[in-house]
């Protein structure tokens, strides 16, 4: 079994994340089948919305097959990784507020060690954590939901998050692992791919409970020592893998989330000074210093702003870190209230060589000049665009020298559709819309 006596491992998996972000940002697609992936040639499905999954569409399916299965009106969109990364960053920041030990395994999935966060580890306690986390994720992401599983091991936590998708929560109490695991199809185990599943089926093994009855020697004979022994352990919920954050420190940071939003400028400055002092103390304790100072400011609506500046020489001086952090703070509008503040030092080295004089103007961060972007002739379906006359929108489709755009966003009503020449000088690529 897991070695943990309490359900202290939480797994969160965002539900059909790519498609969910598309439906959030494109109001006319809400409730409709959406398929994200390679839209041309031999493209494959990356993510399908739950409306599309009802027709048998799933990830890794050839896009041509998905088109044959899907009903009229299905949207086929190229991925927008910048939009997905922004959403992921918001979610991962929320997870870091729950516990300092977060293991991100993909853009939409992570494990949390609740024991490291000082939580009540009773079933009722972790259920409350899961409910609160799901609510915060949906609110912070503009409606993207996550499914959560909590158990005594990574294996069972992940199984739990899959049981009630989408928007589900499953807490598996200690001692209930096998009763939950054994009735499941054998392909629900992480080590069982199509080839392994076919070999097990030929031997009459269809559920995890069936697999648990197979002798270890037989599994090793079928699949080799490592894979066979691994399947033997998984079928018994024997999983002692720890939840691990990044092992090698690439930064030293401190941050604070406030129960009541900070609105007083002087108080915010003092908090930045305290965070800078904590960071500098950790630098000195670790015998390192750094050249880049960063701040993070999260507003009441979960929008997060970061600013950074890099010096020529590394430092571990708390006064200097605070001075730079305060300068960066002047670039951020805090008038609407601050939920979280953070200070970090990166570009670490094992020595410090501070200058003798105060920082001069040359050390202020300089924003690069924006460069004009040429209008592409090959517009991608789903791509964010902006038109001088109609404003922000997204590419509905293109071909034969024309591009069709729907002008809407996450906070608008379904918008009008207009068609332009692909070289229209008023149409240009744009950043993903701000859903907050």
Which positions are catalytic? 109
Q: How far apart are CA 101 and CA 256, in angstroms?
A: 16
What are the structure tokens assigned to 73, written together?
A: 């009106």
- How far are the Cα atoms of 80, 129, 281, 283, 299 from residue 276, in angstroms, in the given order? 36, 30, 9, 10, 20
- Distance, in Å, from the CA atom of 351 to the CA atom of 314, rounded to the nearest integer, reads 7
Contact by Cβ (8 Å): 197, 50: no
Q: Which of 197, 169, 199, 190 is nearest to 237 (CA)?
A: 190
Q: Which two structure tokens, joined as six digits, stand for 315?
A: 């430092």
Q: What is the rounded CA–CA span in Å between residue 228 and residue 225?
A: 5
- Rounded-to-integer distance, Cα 307 and Cα 292, Å: 10
Q: What is the DSSP string of 182-222?
A: TTSBGGGSTT--HHHHHHHHHTT--BHHHHHTS-HHHHHHH
Distance from C-alpha of 191 to C-alpha of 260, rounded to nearest angstrom: 46
Contact at 8 Å (CB) between 306 and 296? Answer: yes
Q: What is the DSSP string of 327-380?
A: HHHTTS--TT-EEEEEEEEEEEES-----SS---GGGS--PPPPPP-PPPSSPP
Q: How far apart are the first and last CA of the chain?
A: 43
∠145-151-155 over CA atoms, to 5°?
A: 85
Residue 88, SS3 per DSSP: helix
CA 32 to each of CA 29, 76, 129, 238, 433: distance values in angstroms, whole numbers, following the listed order? 5, 11, 32, 41, 20
- CB within 8 A of 317, min separation 6: which ones? 280, 352, 354
CB under 8 A, 24+ apart: contacts of 190-198 = 190/155, 190/158, 190/234, 191/227, 191/230, 191/231, 191/234, 192/231, 196/223, 196/227, 196/231
């Amino acid at each position: 079994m897991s070695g943990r006596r309490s359900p202290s491992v939480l797994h969160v998996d965002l539900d059909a994340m790519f498609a969910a972000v598309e439906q959030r940002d494109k109001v006319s697609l809400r409730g409709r089948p959406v398929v994200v992936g390679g839209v041309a040639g031999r493209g494959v499905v990356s993510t399908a919305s739950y409306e599309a999954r009802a027709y048998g569409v799933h990830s890794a399916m050839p896009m041509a097959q998905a088109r044959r299965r899907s009903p009229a009106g299905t949207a086929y969109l190229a991925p927008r990784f910048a939009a997905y990364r922004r959403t992921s960053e918001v979610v991962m920041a929320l997870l870091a507020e729950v516990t300092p030990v977060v293991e991100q395994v993909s853009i939409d999935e992570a494990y949390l060690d609740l024991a490291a966060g000082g939580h009540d580890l009773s079933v009722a306690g972790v259920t409350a954590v899961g409910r609160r986390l799901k609510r915060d994720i949906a609110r912070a992401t503009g409606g993207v939901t996550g499914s959560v599983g909590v158990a005594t091991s990574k294996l069972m936590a992940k199984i739990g998050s899959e049981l009630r998708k989408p928007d589900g929560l499953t807490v598996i109490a200690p001692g209930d692992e096998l009763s939950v695991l054994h009735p499941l199809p054998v392909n629900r185990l992480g080590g069982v791919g199509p080839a392994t599943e076919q070999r097990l089926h030929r031997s009459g093994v269809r559920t995890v409970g069936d697999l648990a009855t197979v002798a270890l020697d037989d599994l090793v004979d079928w699949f080799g020592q490592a894979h066979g022994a691994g399947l033997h352990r998984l079928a018994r919920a024997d999983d002692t893998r720890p939840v691990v954050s990044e092992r090698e420190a690439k930064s030293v940071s401190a941050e604070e989330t406030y129960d009541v939003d900070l609105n007083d400028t002087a108080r915010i400055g003092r908090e930045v000074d305290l965070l800078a002092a904590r960071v500098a103390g950790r630098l000195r304790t670790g015998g390192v210093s750094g050249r880049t100072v960063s701040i993070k400011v999260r507003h009441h609506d979960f929008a997060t702003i970061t600013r950074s500046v890099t010096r020529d020489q590394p430092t571990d001086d708390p006064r200097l870190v605070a001075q730079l952090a305060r300068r960066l703070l002047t670039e951020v509008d805090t008038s609407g209230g601050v939920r979280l503040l953070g200070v970090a030092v990166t570009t670490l080295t094992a020595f410090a060589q501070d200058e003798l004089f105060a920082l001069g103007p040359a050390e202020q961060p300089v924003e690069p000049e924006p460069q004009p972007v040429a209008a592409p002739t090959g517009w991608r379906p789903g791509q964010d665009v902006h038109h001088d006359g109609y404003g922000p929108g997204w590419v509905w489709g293109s071909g034969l020298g024309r591009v069709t755009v729907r002008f809407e966003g996450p906070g608008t009503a379904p918008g009008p559709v207009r068609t332009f020449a692909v070289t229209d000088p008023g149409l240009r690529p744009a950043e993903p819309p701000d859903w907050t």
